[in-house]
Amino acid sequence: MESPSLSQDQPTPTPRRRRHLLRLAACLAVAAAGVASAFAQEKTPVATPAAGQVQSDPVKRGQYLAIAADCAACHTVPGSAKLFAGGYAIDSPMGKIYSSNITPSKQYGIGNYTEAEFARAVREGVNAHGTHLYPAMPYPSYAAMTDEDVAALYAYFMQGVQPVDEAAPETRLAFPFNVRASMAGWNLLFLHNQRFAPDASKSAEWNRGKYLVDTLAHCAECHTPRNAMMALEDGAASYSGSQLGSWHAPNITSDAVSGLGGWSDAELAAYLKTGHVAGKAQAAGPMAEAVTNSLQHLTDADVRAIVAYLRTIPAVRTPGQAAPSYAQGKAADTDADTIGLRPMQVNMADMKGEELYANACASCHQSTGEGTRDGFYPSLAHNTAVGGASVDNLVAAILFGVDREAGGKHVLMPGFGPGSEVQALSDAQVASLANYVLQQFGNAALSVTAAHVAELREGGPTPALAKLAGPAVGIAVVIVLALVVLLLARRKRRARH
């Protein structure tokens, strides 16, 4: 008989891929938050340049800036060697948005871009063809980028990146979201196209930190709540936390109870570098991705600068919160209450939260919930995800797991959601488990319903605007937007007169 050839099925290591929720809401004409599972970059695809090189060489400086701005997270398909070739599919409630090829390929990338065209794309969300980008590209944050940094980024993308002559798939969204021109209206309303201006009354370190946090690392895109038009709520609410699909990006203001006020400088720096601070928090979901791809690669001076700035973000207290989320809960052992006392062969369906905890969680987090002494398996008591005002990060961690690489170490907690090969739990089981964990180790005032677990499993609450798809509603929205644009344009003209 014929010999089957192995050539077509030569084994390749299964890529580790991560479900995660997109860091940025994919906004549109009417802007709707796109939140969905997608695959993140497995490893940062760009080696961190040495500090000396960053100073002297604009290409190396641009490379560092590209890491700080985390361009690769969206512009490279995870696991692909085609760095910055785009094609990364962002699943939004309106459809897939594909990131563009930003290699210097003349045909398919940005090889023909002038520096001015590049700058306009980065800071104003308009590409060289005059087409509006969807704000899945965080240009509202990048708008403040300095000319010098844009020039360095341009130098890096033109000279330091290999061209990939391959077209990224075209984004085709349903009406009305496919009307890209309507982004003009949104931009008029929400894009503050102003460069970063240092505050002379503050230290150079603080100014550097502000620039990193507000602009390059675009922290606000996740940590600042969005308004009904899915634009960031500037002002008092800045950095006070926001829903991010299935996850909750916490309050990172300086508030001692709801924010980072109770964290030491060293703890904040360690968190940015490793995503792990015992007794406080562990980065999961989109923040794990930010640590993995970007933050851990920042210089110590830049990390210090970020910390210095975070310290000064005006405090926002979550109404009703009395104690920091990491201060909640205590270790408690119920193992002796359950082990050996039940008949064998109790059905999974009949298991209560404490049994599910014992069978699915305790082998790592220990029956006491304290984790291991070396902190490798974190304590569930004194843990932001378990003691906070939102149950979402606890439930999302159970559903989707934790996946983070920092300092050459890969941390992985398997997900227990649908399709889990370790143990798939139903919505009711996840709710019952999460409720046990909250009662036992965390914020006992909270509870979770199976319906809420189901919602988070599907990517979290759908932003109101994303529900507006469909011809009738779509047309209405476009008309309203057109009126808004007209009104604003007139106002501007009047102002000019």
Partner 1 sequence: MANELSADVVVVGTGICGSFVAHELAQAGLSVLMLEAGPRRERAQLVENWRNMPPANKAASDYATLYPTVPWALHPQYMPENGYPQVDGPDAHAYRQGILRGVGGTTWHWAASSWRYLPSDIQLHATYGVGRDWAVTYDELEDYYYKAEVEMGVNGPNDTSLKYVAPRKQPFPMEPMPYGPADRRFTEVVATAGYANTPVPQARNSRPYDGRPQCCGNNNCMPICPIGAMYHGVYHTLKAEKLGARVIPNAVVYRIDTNAANEVTAVHYYDPDKVSHKVTAKTFVIAGNGIETPKLLLLAANDRNPNGIANSSDQVGRNMMDHPGILMSFQAAEPIWTGGGSVQMSSITNFRDGDFRREYAAIQIGMNNTAQNLKAGVKALQMGLVGKKLDEEIRRRAACGMDIYVNHDVLANPENRLRLSTTRKDGLGIPFPHITYDVGEYVRKSAVFSRQHLQKIAALFGATEIETTPYFNPNNHIMGGTIGGADPKNSVVDKWMRTHDHKNLFLATGGAMASAGTVNATLSMAALSLRAAAAIKQDMLHG
Q: How far is the CB of 450 from partner 1 (least distance, A)?
A: 17
Please give the C-alpha separations between residue 97 and each of 89, 92, 132, in angstroms, as whole numbers.
6, 7, 13
- Interacting residue with partner 1 among 314, 375, 414, 461 (CB under 8 A): 414
Asked whether 154 and 115 are in contact (CB, 8 A), the reply is: yes
Place of tokens 């007169």: 497
Asked whether 44 and 294 are in contact (CB, 8 A), the reply is: yes
- By CB under 8 A, is residue 374 in contact with partner 1? no
- By CB under 8 A, is residue 343 in contact with partner 1? yes
- By CB under 8 A, is residue 1 in contact with partner 1? yes
If one counts every other C-beta atom within 10 angstroms of the C-beta of residue 451, the result is 10
DSSP 156: I
- Interacting residue with partner 1 among 228, 412, 476, 480 (CB under 8 A): 412
Q: Is 211 helix (H, G, I), strand (E, B) or coil?
A: helix
- By CB under 8 A, is residue 43 in contact with partner 1? no
Q: How far is the CB of 194 from partner 1 (least distance, A)?
A: 43
Asked whether 136 and 22 are in contact (CB, 8 A), the reply is: yes
Q: How far is the CB of 362 from partner 1 (least distance, A)?
A: 8
- By CB under 8 A, is residue 475 in contact with partner 1? no
Name residues contacting partner 1, limited to 351-370 (CB under 8 A): 351, 355-356, 358-360, 363-364
Angle at 22 between CA 20 and CA 27, to 5 degrees: 160
- By CB under 8 A, is residue 426 in contact with partner 1? no
Q: How far is the CB of 290 from partner 1 (least distance, A)?
A: 19
- Interacting residue with partner 1 among 48, 423, 439, 462 (CB under 8 A): 423
Place of tokens 């300086």: 254
The mark string for 208-237 relative to partner 1 (x by CB under 8 A, - otherwise) is ------------------------------
Closest CA to 183 of 61, 26, 62: 26
Q: In this structure, what are the phi and psi dihedrals at residue 205, rounded to the nearest 5 degrees?
A: -65, -45
- Interacting residue with partner 1 among 47, 197, 200, 341 (CB under 8 A): 341
Q: In this structure, what are the phi and psi dihedrals at residue 183, rounded to the nearest 5 degrees?
A: -60, -25
Instruction: Give CA–CA dist 195/187, Å, rounded.
Output: 16
Which one, 201 or 345, has the nearer CB to partner 1? Answer: 345
Q: Which residues contact 16 (CB under 8 A, 6 or more apart)?
A: 42, 403, 412
Instruction: Give CA–CA dist 283/289, Å, rounded.
Output: 8
- By CB under 8 A, is residue 492 in contact with partner 1? no
Closest CA to 221 of 143, 133, 140: 140
Stretches 183-191, 212-220, 346-354, 388-396: which one binds partner 1 (CB under 8 A)?
A: 346-354
Place of tokens 């983070």: 404
Instruction: Give CA–CA dist 254/449, Å, rounded.
Output: 32
- By CB under 8 A, is residue 422 in contact with partner 1? yes
- Interacting residue with partner 1 among 421, 472, 493, 496 (CB under 8 A): 421
Kind plus residue range of the DSSP H or E element containing 82: none
Q: How far is the CB of 289 from partner 1 (least distance, A)?
A: 15
| Dihedral Cα 355, 359, 362, 364, nearest 10 deg | -160
- Interacting residue with partner 1 among 39, 175, 206, 377 (CB under 8 A): 377
Stretches 7-15, 53-61, 107-115, 310-318: which one binds partner 1 (CB under 8 A)?
A: 7-15
Distance of CA 481 to the CA centre of its chain: 28
- By CB under 8 A, is residue 408 in contact with partner 1? no
Stretches 48-56, 185-193, 405-413, 485-493: which one binds partner 1 (CB under 8 A)?
A: 405-413
Q: How far is the CB of 38 from partner 1 (least distance, A)?
A: 15
- Interacting residue with partner 1 among 56, 194, 201, 345 (CB under 8 A): 345
Stretches 110-118, 164-172, 339-347, 436-444: which one binds partner 1 (CB under 8 A)?
A: 339-347
Which residues sit at the interface with partner 1, rule CB under 8 A?
Answer: 1-6, 9-14, 16-17, 338-348, 351, 355-356, 358-360, 363-364, 377, 401, 403, 410-415, 419, 421-423, 425
